[in-house]
Amino acid sequence: MPDVIVIGCGGGGPVMAKELAGQGLDVLVIEGGPRFADSEADFSRLENDANNPINGYLRVGPASRDRPAYPRSLRQDGFVWQVSGVGGTTLHYYGNCPRASEGVFSGYDGADADLYDTDHLFPFTFEELRPYYEWVEATLPVQTAAMGTKEATFFKGCEGIGLPHNTSKDVSQASFRAQQNSILQPQGTAGKAKDPVYPDAQGCTFCGHCFQGCSMPRGAPRNLKAKRSTDNSYVPMMLTADAWASGGKPATLITDAFVQRIHAERRGGSVVATGVTFVDGKGARQRVDAEVVVLAGGAVESPRLYLSSRLPNDNGWAGRGFTDHHLDWIFGVFDEDTGNSKGASSSARADFPGYGGLENGGLPPALQAFSMTFSDSGTVGGRGSASPATKAGADTLGRVVGRDLIEALSDVNRILNVLVLTDDDVEFQNRVSLERLALPDANGAIPRVEVNHRRRSKRTLRNREFLAGRAVALLRAAGAKSVHRVDWPPLMLHTHSSMRMGTSARTSMCDQWGHSRGVDGLYIADNSVLANGLGGANPTLTTQSVATRTAEHIATTRFGRDPWVRSSAPVSSIDDRVTEAVLARGL
């Protein structure tokens, strides 16, 4: 019987497991997808092989690609772009790690305070979370991004529309800056050699294939691969806890094992989590009990499991309040080289407090074509739709086809993409529920994602239109000869808030510690616990910082451990002790 069961080994689960295992607790981690133990053998640069949602290796599904993916039901045309497996969606993320805007936390009294979703703030202050931000930033580690031609072009556009340069990790005004990201800086022959091999090459090799997972530099131990997805950072630490912390013990990891139920029982006046039942890859079902259960399956799977386990939902907010940054995609076509497909995928951003942000997004050819032909506004020159989007100053609105598509894709390195990251409102009607009109899969009722992009709040729509206009102006100032707004339908890369923590028990599932309001001993440690859309910031760093804070709370209040984040220095995932343990154990 472990002390703690962690359900999910994506962006937040390994953080929780690493911190608790480091305090000597017996931690069991159960992951529904595979573990890519040898990234050089398991990953490829073939875009369909990696990203096909049906049988790509970066899909939501079991380890065997001969078995079907796990289905989701959507309210309108769209796609939830997540990954199952050790590392979860951090396997294909860009490594971007900005802090959330201060205005999304309680206690903020800046001049722009009213621009945020003030009804759904975090139940603590930004300053309370700061030491946990710093802990995660040192652990991953997070650094100022290495940059190339596309970032220089993006910065030219930012300067052209009058934005000042921000050199801080915090944002106090509209400005541009280099990304803070968790990709190791290139060293030695990285980015120079045709075949970059460790140890001559270290860090990012500028291969341009972030979306296919990271296996570079070739020959490096797992915890020295360039991109700090959790399978390269927190998981090696989680599995070698005794190597870096006095009294720590390695966590146990079970993969390709789908948790089908969280068990709870009534004790006195409370409902208490007692354990889980899961089915392994061979179809064997077993139950494991623990004092604490941590739900870290992601913003879709966590509410699905909670609801299918029939746990208390007295206020009706389980699965509700889903936020997704209401993403959009604007691209410009240039006469000169932009370096679009080269280097780390996104190393520059512009922030607009109260509205959201913009970041560049470099893509290889097939994903570039996908990004330009995925629209909620129909086909350029053809019949439109009910989308409220406007051209926002762009030359076209909608799916690019014909000569525009041929010209743009004639050279992928003459394109500059800008991703719109809207600070969207927490809205009750946007939710994850259980699909009742389709047959269940092997794991029970499938999740239904109900996010209507055409009926968002006035503030969300205002923010998206404002940012789209800024992106168009940026691209023109950078020298684009044509600019195109795609108007993406729900492409849910950043998903949050479906099991949100909050200041009010009427509108949140968790308290300030990520502890379920309805089930004692059940904690949430993934994007679903985030209180809101973070002001448009990429979610992973905040999720991992909140998970660290929750782990410390669990260890101190449930198991009598002393606090450690404020009293000791973090050990980096690239620490020599961890590296030696990774090499010795083949992790």
Residue 54 lies in a domain: yes
Give the C-alpha separation, 311 to 325, whole Å.
28
Helices vs. strands in the chain: H and E counts, helices first: 13, 24
Beta strand 4-7 with 292-295 is: parallel
* Number of compact structural domains in the chain: 1
Residue 269 lies in a domain: no
Residue 383 confidence (pLDDT): 65
Radius of gyration from C-alpha coordinates of the chain: 22
Residue 300 lies in a domain: no
Q: Which of 492, 21, 71 is nearest to 241 (CA)?
A: 21
Q: N- to C-terminal Cα distance for the chain? A: 24
Burial class (CB in 10 A: 0-12, 13-18, 19+), 407: middle
Q: Which of 224, 120, 157 is nearest to 510 (CA)?
A: 120
Residue 290 lies in a domain: no
Phi, psi of 261 (to 5 degrees): -160, 140
Alpha helices in 309-457 (DSSP H): 365-372, 402-409
Tokens (6 digits) for 135: 């802990």
Give the C-alpha separation, 29 to 34, whole Å.
13
Give the C-alpha separation, 209 to 92, whole Å.
9
Give the C-alpha separation, 57 to 53, whole Å.
9
Give the C-alpha separation, 116 to 353, whole Å.
9
Residue with tokens 């893509």, as numbered in its chain: 363
Distances (CA, A) of 354 to 14, 185, 303: 31, 31, 28
Distances (CA, A) of 579 to 69, 145, 295: 34, 23, 29
**Strand, helix or coil for residue 267:** strand
Q: What share of the chain is helix, strand, coil (3-state, %, to 5)?
A: 25, 20, 55
Tokens (6 digits) for 46: 């073939």
**Residue 335 CA from chain centroid, whole number:** 34
Q: Residue 541's domain spans which residues? A: 4-22+50-183+227-250+321-585
CB 108 within 8 A of CB 517: no
pTM over 0.95: yes
CB 70 within 8 A of CB 293: no
Respond yes or no on whether the N-terminal peptide bond of residue 164 is cis (omega within 30° of 0): no
Residue 431 lies in a domain: yes
Distances (CA, A) of 229 to 86, 91, 418, 546: 9, 6, 23, 17
Burial class (CB in 10 A: 0-12, 13-18, 19+), 172: middle
Residue 255 confidence (pLDDT): 97
**Strand, helix or coil for residue 442:** coil
Greatest Cα-to-Cα distance within the chain, rounded to the nearest angstrom: 71
Residue with tokens 């000869």, as numbered in its chain: 481
Give the C-alpha separation, 224 to 214, whole Å.
11
Residue 239 lies in a domain: yes
Residue 418 lies in a domain: yes
pLDDT for 30-70, tens place per residue?
Answer: 999 999 988 899 999 999 999 999 999 999 999 999 999 99
Positions in the chain whose pLDDT score sits under 50: none
Give the C-alpha separation, 260 to 277, whole Å.
6
pLDDT for 361-388, tens place per residue?
Answer: 999 999 999 999 999 999 987 766 788 9
Residue 246 confidence (pLDDT): 77
Half-sphere exposure of 551 (CA within 13 A, CB side): 32
Tokens (6 digits) for 413: 């390195």
Residue 253 confidence (pLDDT): 98
CB 22 within 8 A of CB 236: no
Burial class (CB in 10 A: 0-12, 13-18, 19+), 5: buried
CB 323 within 8 A of CB 496: yes
Give the C-alpha separation, 163 to 213, whole Å.
33
Phi, psi of 18 (to 5 degrees): -60, -45
Residue 176 confidence (pLDDT): 98
Residue 343 lies in a domain: yes
Angle of helix 149-160 versus helix 458-478 axis, rounded to 10: 110
